[in-house]
Amino acid sequence: MPDPQLCSEDELAALVHHFYARVRRDAQLGPIFNTHVQDWDAHLVKLTDFWSSALRGTRRFRGTPMPVHAALPGLTAALFQHWLQLFETTVAELPNQALRERASALAERIAQSLWYGYQMANLRQHEPAQIEELLHE
C-alpha cells in the first residue's frame, strides 16, 4: 500500500537515478535500455513519477508500461531476473529500511508482471510447442 511517509521525494529520486545509472552501464541491460531510451533526462522523470506513485501514492505517473515493454524484441526471463538483481543491489545500499523492503517487494512484482505480460503479448509468434516452453521459463 502506498505511503507518503515511506520516504522523501529526494530519497526516491536518488534510488531511481542510482539504479538506472547502474542499468545503463550494465553489459546485459545497458544496450537494451540505451537503444530504446532516447532522452534519459525525461525518462528518469517518468521513472521517478512511476515509483513515487507506486510507493508514496502521489499519482503523478501517467502511462502504460506493459505495451512498451511487450514490444521490445528478444527479452528473456534471465534479463528480467538480472534487472531485479541489479535493483536488489541498489536498494540494499539504502539507509531507509522501510523503503528498501517496500521497493524490493514492488520490484519483484513488477518484474514478474512485465515478464508474464511480455510472454502473453509475444505468444502468437511461436509454434504451439514453443508456447508451452515459454510459459514454463
| Cβ contacts of 4 within 8 Å, gap of 6 or more | 56, 57, 58
Rounded to whole angstroms, the Cα distance separating 129 from 125 reads 12
| Residue 98 covered by a domain | yes
How is residue 121 written as a grid cell? 503479448
| Residue 57 covered by a domain | yes
H helix or E strand, kind and range, residue 103:
helix 97-122
Nearest to 122 by CA among 133, 109, 131: 131
Residues of the domain holding 22? 9-135
| Residue 1 covered by a domain | no
Number of domains in the chain: 1
pLDDT at 135: 53
Which CATH number do you get for residue 30?
1.10.490.10
Is pLDDT of 88 > 90? Answer: yes
Rounded to whole angstroms, the Cα distance separating 88 from 107 reads 9
Tens digits of residue pLDDT in 5-52: 999 999 999 999 999 999 999 999 999 999 999 999 999 999 999 999
| Rg, C-alpha atoms of the chain | 16
| Residue 2 covered by a domain | no
pLDDT at 126: 54
Tens digits of residue pLDDT in 89-136: 999 999 999 999 999 999 999 999 998 888 888 776 655 555 455 555
| Residue 62 covered by a domain | yes
Question: Please, are residues 111 and 80 in contact by the beta-carbon 8 Å criterion?
Answer: yes
Nearest to 118 by CA among 80, 88, 62: 80
